[in-house]
Amino acid sequence: MRVQDDGIVTTAEEIEGFHIVRAILAKHIPIKRVVMRDTKSYCGVLLDDNNRKPICRLHFNSGQKYIGTFDTDKNETRNPIDQLESIYDFEKQILASVNTYDGNVEPDGADTE
């Protein structure tokens, strides 16, 4: 657990969830482009450390955990998950988010390059 001066607490579960998202994206883009930015209410996973390019959000600060996924208009949908491994079930949405910003990642797993 990491506590920052501003009261933001980054938990081991958030870090593990971030690593799962990076693992999903590793075969599509350089993982150095995938960045975690924690806030008091959620842990954001961003492309290129740009808050205008959210990949997903990890809402782990309450009893029920959620992964927030985004549509092409950047509207967030909170999806309940029971275990961290459930993040893998949202691979298609995660890839679609990156594709919205990058345009070179196919949700079916095939790169267009």
**Residue 91 structure tokens:** 């691979």
Tell me what pLDDT residue 1 has. Answer: 60
Amino acid code (one letter) for 62: S
Amino acid code (one letter) for 19: H
The reply to whether 74 falls in a domain is yes
Q: Where are the beta strands (DSSP E) in 14-112?
A: 34-38, 43-47, 54-59, 65-70, 76-81
pLDDT digits (tens, 9 = 90+) for 35-88: 999 999 999 999 999 999 999 999 998 889 999 999 999 999 999 999 999 999
The reply to whether 79 falls in a domain is yes
Q: How far apart are CA 79 and CA 9, in angstroms?
A: 22
pLDDT digits (tens, 9 = 90+) for 3-28: 556 778 899 999 999 999 999 999 99
The reply to whether 52 falls in a domain is yes
* Structural domain for 52, as ranges: 2-101
The reply to whether 84 falls in a domain is yes
Q: Exposed (0-12), middle (13-18) or buried (19+): which is 111, by Cβ within 10 Å? A: exposed
**Residue 15 structure tokens:** 């870090």
Tell me what pLDDT residue 112 has. Answer: 40
Q: How far apart are CA 47 and CA 90, in angstroms?
A: 17
Q: How far apart are CA 102 and CA 66, in angstroms?
A: 25
pLDDT digits (tens, 9 = 90+) for 75-99: 999 999 999 999 999 999 999 999 9
Task: Give the DSSP H/E element, type plus range, for residue 9.
Answer: strand 9-10
The reply to whether 64 falls in a domain is yes
- Domains of the chain: total: 1
The reply to whether 112 falls in a domain is no
The reply to whether 110 falls in a domain is no
Q: What are phi and psi of 69, to 5 degrees?
A: -115, 160
The reply to whether 109 falls in a domain is no
